[in-house]
Amino acid sequence: MIPDVDNDSIVYLNGQYVRLGDAKVSVLDRGFVFGDGIYEVVPVYSGKPFRMAHHIARLQRSLKAISIQVGFTDDQWADLFLDMIARTAPAMAGVSENVMIYLQVTRGVAKRDHAFPAHATPTIFCMVSPFKRPGAEQREKGLSTISIPDVRWLHCHIKSVSLLGNVLAKQAAVEAGVDEVVQFRDGFLSEGASTNIWVVRNGTLLAPEPNHLILEGVRYRFIESLAQKAGIPFEARPVSRTEVDTADELMLSSATKEVLPIVLHDGRPVGSGRPGPVYAALRAAYDQVLEAL
């Protein structure tokens, strides 16, 4: 038994719907042995997946990037996600109105050898878990962060299950008593441990260019579109550490954290030390889209 996990919840594993407590994967699965796989997380609000098509598009990009061939079309992935929501809805009732779909695909089970196996069948695992939306305190008081060097690999655009670098980054935040890290590579902003980072200077929203050095979160393009609609200038370009250190506002975004303000960075207030007007405009626009679901 795993503490704090509902072992009776229904999960999908390789074409079968089974109890989580009964789901088993071989120790020779390449996801376990090599971290050879990808994953995706789709937030679901009151039974409705949010930007599911965008998550599926990133899923397909990640699979292609590491040459895992599952053979699922976009519609088949969507059907799996919707089926999982329907099957788990009764168990989630009264627990949380908001859930997240977690999908993991590995290259499958094979003899331990670094090269891709010739005939392995991919392992496909999917589960649904409750999540809490950011609370009023996080929205209104903001978060704290510290800077750390980005020492991860150079394929951060792949949503890989090889997350040791991200785990170490998150642990650095935990040990420093802050909410998240802000990582820099060669003097320029990359991202957080599990978030995209946003910078506001002179009313303009800045973000690193989406390339192999960051994971392009589904919220990245979404927040860019919200900025456009709100009339907030946006620039995707290299953002220096000096620009981060002297920012008027800092924010982070992710599937389950949505968008939140950073008010303390490296022990110093960001701007006025309170959530700023650009964050307020994006937060309001974000909530309007969710309410429209």
Which residues does the annotation mark as catalytic?
A: 159
Reading phi first (left if > 0) and then psi (alpha if -120 to 50, else beta), residue 231 is in left
> In the chain, where does DSSP find H-type helix?
30-34, 52-65, 74-92, 136-141, 164-176, 218-230, 241-245, 277-292
Strand order in the sheet with 98-106: 16-19, 10-13, 123-130, 98-106, 37-45, 48-49
Task: Answer yes or no: are the C-beta atoms of 8 and 19 closer than 8 Å.
Answer: yes
Q: 258-265 and 143-149 as β-strands: parallel, antiparallel, unpaired? A: parallel
Here the tokens at position 252 are 């982070």
In our burial notation (b when 16+ CB lie closer than 10 A, e otherwise), range 85-109 reads beebeeebeeeeebbbbbbbbbbbb
Closest CA to 23 of 33, 9, 35: 9
